[in-house]
Amino acid sequence: MNRRRFLMGSTFAGAALAVAGCATMPSATPIVPTGPALDADVEDLQRKTFDWFVRVTNRANGLTPDRWPTESFSSVAAVGFALTCWPVGVERGWMSREEARERTLTTIRFFHELPQGPEPTGNGGYKGFFYHFLNMQTGHRFGRTELSTVDTALLVAGMLFAARWFDGDHPQEREIRERAQAVYERVEWDWAVVRPNRITMGWHPETGFIPADWNVYNEGMIVLLLAIGSPTHPTPTTVWDEWCSVYDHSWTDRWGPKHLHFPPLFGHEYSHMYIDFRGIRDRWLQDQQAEIPGFDYFQNSVRAVEAQRKYAIDNPMGWAGYSADVWGLTACDGPGDFRQVIDGREREFFSYSARGPGDRDDGTLAPTAALASMPFAPDHVIACLKAMKARYGSAIYTQYGFLDSFNPTLTVRDGPLQHGRIVPGIGWVDGDYLGIDQGPIVIQIENHRSEIVWKAMHGEPNLVRGLKRAGFTGGWLDNA
């Protein structure tokens, strides 16, 4: 279960309680980046954020920490994002193909050989799934963390993308493809269907399956589609029908155009990092065409971003800094769990939490929320990037891009902070970068810039199989 889901709290209780095979692509030549000319500030951010992964990822085993510079365990989702970043770096001239290949193969070999079993210690996973957090050196389960279906899916998605991109005849590139497919094929997705037509969020060796499933609109689409598409342990296609069955209760137009609502923006971004939803539609979407022509899951994310920006403009809770150009609520670090009176009004703040319009909004903004939405609203996102840098400068934007989050309302603290510090004239600023927030910045900027990830995944047979089994048709998928 993704940490974001686990820490949503009671507001989101309804949602959570929170490669190819061995075949190569036609040519071993790199994809030639195309697309719109990139703004200098965006390019600087993408490069700095990429450099964070280079700086922190363990070269000996490929594990990426959950956060840095605070010492931490590895996040397997962040590892999947790092695997996706290496080819981006090659395409941009920031890393040689040789280094990217070596890093990728080191990582995939490590996960391929990582011990698996039902015992609570000494293993990195079970039934093909991996634990949410791993020890940075051994790769074994960290603490009592859960076996996570979504974090495994994001790790595997990064592997499958790497297997598509490393398409050459070099022995190491062939091994990348073979081992990535092997890791995917041993995931027992069908084992995780413990309630009718629903995939569980996770499992603990001490207590069994988590009593929460992927059953509301959110980032879980990547889980279901990889599960349905598995050539070895597929789930029934009815899990997608069940997924769509709750949509009638998810529509909202409170803060913008009607869309399938999920408050924090990561739910509208994560699956879209690997799946190009433009122009492809499942049966439910096909039924909506009479009412909303042209509507698809990509357009749903466009509308969700518009709603977040509208919420910041309206700013119903009166937080400092919110505007048409400074916005973005998602799961991120916060100053701590406490109440404090500010300007005569008692305010409630949170530590790490999922945040959205009207839901656990404590004035904490996360740059990744806006920046990982680059493909959905590039003009507004670039304006947001520039405004954040202009207003808050080096307090939030440093050697490795944006620190995870900041809160302009909290300018004085009466007691201790759980994260970060108060910066005079700025407010509260986090002290860490988080891997699961850094990765989407690099990847989604690139999807907007050149579509490298999307184009590669157009030909990923496992994903294509999952989409078609789930009933998707149209657009690029008809030619896949």
- Distance from C-alpha of 130 to C-alpha of 143, rounded to nearest angstrom: 14
Confidence of residue 249 (pLDDT cuts 50, 70, 90): confident
Ranges of beta strands (E only) in 236-387 are 251-252, 259-260, 331-332, 338-342, 345-349, 353-354
pLDDT tens digit string along 20-63?
A: 333 333 333 344 444 455 799 999 999 999 999 999 999 999 99
Q: What is the pLDDT of residue 256?
A: 85
Q: What are the φ and ψ backbone dihedral angles of 50, each rounded to 5 degrees?
A: -60, -45
Give yes or no for a contact between 161 and 117, defined as CB atoms under 8 angstroms apart.
no
* pTM, to two decimals: 0.93
Q: What are the φ and ψ backbone dihedral angles of 259, each rounded to 5 degrees?
A: -160, 165
Q: What is the pLDDT of residue 26?
A: 31
Least confident stretch, 14-18, 142-146, 365-369, 473-477: 14-18
Q: What is the pLDDT of residue 16?
A: 31
Give yes or no for a contact between 285 and 278, defined as CB atoms under 8 angstroms apart.
no
Tell me, what DSSP letter sits at residue 168?
S
- Distance from C-alpha of 411 to C-alpha of 425, rounded to nearest angstrom: 7
Looking at every residue in the chain, the average pLDDT score rounds to 93
Helix (H), strand (E) at residue 395? none
- Distance from C-alpha of 307 to C-alpha of 262, rounded to nearest angstrom: 11
Sign of CA dihedral 358, 360, 366, 371: negative
Residue 359 CB contacts under 8 Å (≥ 6 apart), including other chains: 11, 12, 263, 264
pLDDT tens digit string along 322-341?
A: 999 999 999 999 999 999 99
> In the predicted model, what is the mean pLDDT of residues 278-286?
98
- Distance from C-alpha of 258 to C-alpha of 260, rounded to nearest angstrom: 7
Name the residue type at position 77.
Answer: A
CATH of domain 3-304+436-479: 1.50.10.140
- Chain centroid, CA 234 distance in Å: 23
pLDDT tens digit string along 108-163?
A: 999 999 999 999 999 999 999 999 999 999 999 999 999 999 999 999 999 999 99
pLDDT tens digit string along 340-358?
A: 999 999 999 999 999 999 8
- Distance from C-alpha of 312 to C-alpha of 329, rounded to nearest angstrom: 9
Q: What is the pLDDT of residue 19?
A: 29
Q: What is the pLDDT of residue 37?
A: 59
Give yes or no for a contact between 73 and 135, defined as CB atoms under 8 angstroms apart.
yes
Least confident stretch, 167-176, 177-186, 247-256, 378-387: 247-256
Confidence of residue 204 (pLDDT cuts 50, 70, 90): very high
> In the predicted model, what is the mean pLDDT of residues 254-273?
95
- Distance from C-alpha of 429 to C-alpha of 364, rounded to nearest angstrom: 9
Give yes or no for a contact between 372 and 331, defined as CB atoms under 8 angstroms apart.
no
